[in-house]
Every structure is written in C-alpha cells, then in structure tokens.
C-alpha cells in the first residue's frame, strides 16, 4: 500500500534524532495500531487512500507543497475539473474533516475548524521552533504539525489514536511527501520510552479529555528536554480558583473531564516544576471558527450552545473558552 510510505518516511529522520531503537519502536507501533487494528472502516479508507495516492502521482504541481498565504496547507497544482471532482470524492470518503484548512490546486478542503486561527493565537516567537524536535500530542490529522514544519522544525512527531485522522494525514501526505513529519496512530499513554527529550511539546485541545489532567501535565514535562518549551491549549472557565467537572456532557461532548481556570492551570504547572509560565491568549470559541461545512456535515458548535443564551452551553455551563499557556521545563 503506497500510503504506508506516509508512516514510514520519517523513520530515517527519527533514527538521526532519536536512534534506531526509537525508529524500530515507532515502526512496530504503526503496524500494530494501523494494520492490525481490525477497524471495520479500514478497507474502505485504504481503498480511498490508494485512489488519492494515484491522483497525487498524476497531479501536475505548479509550486512547492507547504502553507499558502491563506494559511491553507497543501500544494499549488493544475487539476482538470474531472480530476478535481474525482479527488474530492475520494477525500470525502474520509469524512468528517475536522481540522484544516487544506488546498490541493483549486480543491479547497473547508474543514469544521479554522485551525489556522488557533495556530495564530499560539503566539509563538518566530524562531521558537527553528531546528527543533517537536511532539504534537493529539495532533488530529496533522494540520498544526505542517505549520510547525513551516515554522522551521527539524522533525515533527504527531500522535493521535483516532484512525480516521491517521488516514487523513496519509491523504495529505501523498501530496506533501515530507520525511520530517512522523505520525504515530497512538495515544499518549502508549508513547515509547525511547522517545523523549523533545525541544517543544504541544498539547492542544487534549487536557480536558484526560481523566487525570495533572498526570497529563506531568507526562508533558517528562517528554521535554530540560529548558524545552511546552505549548498548552485547553478549555478553561472564568474565575480564579475555579475548576469544573461536567456532570455528564459538556457542549454535547461525552469525554470532557476537567475545565480549570487559567490561574489553576498556572498553579499546576508551577507545582510540577515548570518555569516562565505565561498565559499567551484567552479566547471565546466562535461559531465562525467551528462550524458545519461540506467536509464536516454533522452538528457543530452552534448546535451545542443554548439557543436562548449563546454564553452558555446547551447543558448550562459557560460556553467554550480556551487559553494558550507557554512554559519551560526547568533546566
């Protein structure tokens, strides 16, 4: 299967950065998680990936793969109308597309999220990722990972246990063909011991899904090089000492365990030995940033808010707000 290349290509780079044990561990994890998963949709997805890869091989690139001036990840290309429609159908087999935007020629993948808006809010210094080995935990289909490479990272390791997102990563990779982005279809709890000491670790939109948020933060520290940069983005609630555990769902999501205030988050990070802890941004998620599109036709944020009071979720909690925090592991 050609799309296997998408998961193999960065292993040489991985060997340079982390040694042969790490790349062997990663190969075994990819094979275990992906090809032996028995996921019922996998045959359909793999067929679509083969189609997409064939399309990629027949695409005439008119520029270099990367990030365009609309913050779309992809490649300038000349596609006939027929080619474009057939590629669109193959990509739609991998619906729902949540994170993006992406573009292949004139084919625009208008994802549920404007992940480029989140990227802009991260507020990274221009040289923050120069030549860095970066880990993106819960990377979704890899949108932010491509932005990290665009910002000068030497190697990006993205991990995410949702197989559909691994498929979407492979679809985009068919056009990007970078050997500097290694995607592991695993959760953080399965990170191999051979892979630590990253120069920067990103945990964007993951903390509130973890049952033990303090343990999650501690693990982020363990994955970092001393002095390394943590970029944390998570749902928060207003107030100073506040911490919310939803009784059941939050904004219709079943798997939300904990929304702290920014003060509580900063206290946790200090207690865990981080320094230079700074709140880089606080933002209320808008229905322009997260919405249904042709590429994600299910309900989105608008349907999760109280129709009579958009400051509240449908369950009566404060509507989604998110903070970005930067911190350094103590050297």
Ligand X SMILES: C[S@@+](CC[C@H](N)C(=O)[O-])C[C@H]1O[C@@H](n2cnc3c(N)ncnc32)[C@H](O)[C@@H]1O
**Residues at the site binding ligand X, with contacts judged by CB under 6 A:** 99, 115, 118, 137-140, 159-162, 165, 187-189, 204-206, 209
CB of residue 122 to ligand X, shortest distance in Å: 10
Q: Which one, 139 or 149, has the nearer CB to ligand X?
A: 139
Q: Which of 188, 194, 192 is nearest to 217 (CA)?
A: 188
Q: Which one, 180 or 219, has the nearer CB to ligand X?
A: 219
Q: Which one, 76 or 150, has the nearer CB to ligand X?
A: 150
CB of residue 241 to ligand X, shortest distance in Å: 25
Q: Under a CB-based contact definition with an 8 Å cutoff, are residues 77 and 59 in contact?
A: yes
CB of residue 58 to ligand X, shortest distance in Å: 31
Q: Which one, 58 or 284, has the nearer CB to ligand X?
A: 284
Angle at 99 between CA 95 and CA 104, to 5 degrees: 75
- The full DSSP string for 55-109 is HHHT-EESS-SEE-TTS-EEE-EE--HHHHHHHHHHHHTT----S--EEETTEEE
Helices (H), 192-320: 213-223, 262-271
Q: Which one, 51 or 112, has the nearer CB to ligand X?
A: 112
Helices (H), the chain: 4-8, 11-18, 20-30, 42-57, 81-92, 115-121, 143-150, 163-176, 213-223, 262-271
What are the two backbone dihedrals, phi and then psi, of residue 261, each rounded to the nearest 5 degrees? Answer: -80, 170
Q: Which one, 159 or 266, has the nearer CB to ligand X?
A: 159
Report CA-CA distances (Å) from 294 to 89, 141, 165, 203.
12, 17, 17, 28
Q: Which one, 77 or 259, has the nearer CB to ligand X?
A: 259
CB of residue 158 to ligand X, shortest distance in Å: 9
CB of residue 60 to ligand X, shortest distance in Å: 31
CB of residue 220 to ligand X, shortest distance in Å: 11
**Does residue 101 have a cis peptide bond before it, meaning omega lies within 30 degrees of 0?**
yes
Angle at 86 between CA 81 and CA 90, to 5 degrees: 145
CB of residue 190 to ligand X, shortest distance in Å: 8
């Amino acid at each position: 299967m050609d799309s296997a290349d998408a998961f193999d290509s960065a292993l040489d780079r991985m060997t340079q950065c982390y040694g042969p044990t790490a790349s062997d561990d990663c190969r075994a994890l990819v094979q275990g998680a992906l090809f032996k998963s028995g996921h019922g949709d996998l045959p359909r997805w793999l067929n679509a990936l083969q189609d997409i890869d064939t399309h990629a091989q027949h695409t005439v690139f008119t520029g270099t793969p990367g990030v365009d001036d609309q913050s779309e990840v992809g490649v300038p290309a000349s596609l006939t109308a027929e080619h474009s429609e057939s590629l669109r159908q193959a990509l739609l087999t991998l619906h729902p597309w949540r994170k993006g935007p992406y573009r292949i020629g004139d084919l625009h993948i208008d994802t549920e999220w404007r992940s480029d808006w989140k990227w802009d809010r991260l507020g990274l210094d221009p040289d923050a990722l120069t030549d860095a080995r970066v880990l993106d935990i819960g990377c979704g289909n890899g949108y932010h990972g491509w932005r990290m490479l665009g910002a000068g990272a030497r190697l990006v390791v993205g991990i995410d246990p949702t197989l559909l997102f691994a498929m979407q990563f492979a679809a985009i990779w068919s056009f990007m063909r970078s050997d500097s982005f290694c995607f592991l279809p695993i959760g953080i709890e399965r990170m191999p011991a051979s892979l630590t000491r990253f120069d920067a670790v990103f945990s964007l939109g993951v903390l509130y899904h973890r049952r033990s948020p303090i343990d999650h933060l501690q693990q982020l520290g363990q994955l970092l090089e001393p002095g390394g940069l943590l970029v944390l983005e998570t749902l928060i609630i207003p107030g100073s000492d506040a911490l919310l555990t939803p009784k059941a769902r939050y904004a219709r999501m079943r798997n939300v365990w904990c929304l702290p205030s920014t003060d509580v988050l900063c206290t946790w990070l200090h207690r865990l030995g981080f320094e230079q802890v700074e709140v880089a941004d606080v933002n209320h998620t808008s229905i322009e940033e997260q919405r249904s599109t042709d590429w994600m036709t299910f309900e989105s944020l608008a349907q999760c808010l109280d129709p009579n009071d958009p400051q509240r979720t449908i369950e009566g909690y404060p509507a989604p707000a998110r903070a970005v925090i930067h911190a350094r592991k103590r050297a």
